[in-house]
Structure 1
Amino acid sequence: MRYTRTALAATTALLTLTGLAATANAEDHHEDNGKSNHRCIINVVGNHNHNACENIKYGHNATTGNGHSITNLDSVDSAPCESSPCQYPFTGKTRTFLVPEGVRSINVVVVGAPGASVSNAPGGQGQIITGQLSVNPLEVLYLNVGGTPTTNTVPASNPNPCDTGVACIGGFNGGGGGGYFAAGGGGASDIRNIQNQRLIVAGGGGGAGHASQACPGGFPGGNAGHPTGTAGTSTSCGASATGGGGGTQTAGGTGGTAQQAAGNGQTGRLFLGGRAGLNQAGGGGGGWYGGGGGAAQVPAQGDDPNPGQLGGGAGGGGGSSYYPTGFTAASSTATTGSITLSW
């Protein structure tokens, strides 16, 4: 159900204004096809006209839409959590949390997703961020849990981004894609406000680089970190290829470099990990700034048992994390991203 202003005015049983009339939350108990207790939020994004919100509160049908937008929370999160603790695993979509009345501080645990492993080389670890987040009663928070890289399940003959059975597709919320035979980066987990500003970001780990016959064993991805993620592991044999750099507080991690430019990885960007260079390298982790994609070897004739084929690839860099003063950060050993809220 998506409310019009007239319908909202007619059905609203409770409306509480927060701040300086910048936002207003509404809840109704009107039965609609068996569903009740709808909630929405009115965001004053323009002239911050307090009277306009008051008109909505009291059912004034002449209220204009100037400076207002209405978001139906039911359409975003069909199963809202209303009792502590609230645990949010990865779902691949944005979740919403309505701060309970009277609550002004919430304990948060935000965990970024790790990068994928390949050739017995591990992906980089995500980061775990913990602390007390200051909030306002009835404020809406938007939660994005980072995803682990996913596996392509279609036949290799199909023109898709990675080989069958390889987790090269970057994780949800910023993970960079790995090469055709290599691992993708993990997605970041974050908490945002209604203006889509990130309040807390737990970075994701970089994806591992694939081995070759000349470079067995594979090359690990870098861990997420604060203030800077760690670089992915460079190749240690054959043609040179460096790991992607870790994301920082002001810039994405540098893309790995190879002896031939065709193997260079992509530099990370704000919120996004860089894509790997060619087939064997790992993708960068998502984060406040994403890690760089690892570089891949492009061996010369005679350097590899299969001349002209790609050699080994370096790991992707870890993404950086972001959080307010007073929070703590540590490497996570979790295999998935998550967010937990308690009060």
Structure 2
Amino acid sequence: MSERIGPGGTVGILGAGQLGRMLAIAAARMGLKARLYAPEADPPAADVAPVIRGDWDDADALRRFAASVDVVTLEFENVPVAAVETLAPLVSVRPGARALAVAQDRLDEKQFLNAAGVGTAGFAPVDDADSLRAALAALGLPAILKTRRMGYDGKGQARIDRPDQAEAALAAMDGQPAILEAVALFAREISVVAARGADGGFAAYDPAENIHRGGILRRSAAPAAIDAETAARAQGIARAILDALDYVGVMGVELFHMPDGRLLANEIAPRVHNTGHWTIEACAVDQFAQHVRAVCLWPLGDPARHADAVMENLIGDEALGWARIAAEPGAALHLYGKAEARPGRKMGHVTRLSPLGKG
């Protein structure tokens, strides 16, 4: 299980969305095969690699999947931990169940980060009206109430600016365990996409500066508008997190850069990350190839940029402008093969490069 997986080997990927699609493409570039596992019919990655369809709790299907691949990784953080635990005795799973478990629960995630010496905005668990009142008294306003599990792209959360909004915010959680987080009045949002090998080797891409709208990433620009010392601190935080998890693979670490210079961790994602898509055009070894390298026990690649980059997500109907974008000089268009352009759905992205230092 610990031997390097060379060309001709097969990488198993849990999940078959756009990240699985791009991981499969990266594996193919490296002479590797990819096979994906997902419960959905006709997912985006099915266009580029075979998909074994099965439910996450189908132990027989998971065992068949394990027998058909040389290593297993994942494309999104909401793969049930139990599925990974079913696979782990049969085939190496990188990253493993611990990273998933931490990332799937916002309270566990914040507590893990603090224990690893990484600062966060204030937070408190919320299970009912009494604990919400206590959390609001401790943290003050404004604050954001979030479900502890399964929220993404702005889903499962409600902002509280005034005391009279608390009851509605709690009702929006629909009885699920929640966490109240103090609003961080940051100067900018940045992220570090970093990789760690099984031997402890580490490689981090330059921090990107991100703009979100409605909880959905709109734009990532690399490099972020921060000085070299802040960039090094951000990469150091990423390394501390990956080391604490004994992590193998690529992870996205989202940070708030505060006006006083502090860096507070917002969340971690144990997978390749939307804010690292710019690496496809701007780096010799992009985040997807880097992840495949790490989980297959190859040497990590050089994360250096050869250009500045701006990546913009194409949300919903924005992807219908593909012909115009395709005609734009210098625009690198990526479409994810999704049949229906629903509001708020990531349909693709476009990256534009500029010379180093002139972005």
**Larger proportion of helix:** 2
**Larger proportion of strand:** 2
TM-score, length-normalised on structure 2? 0.24
Larger CA Rg, structure 1 vs 2: 1
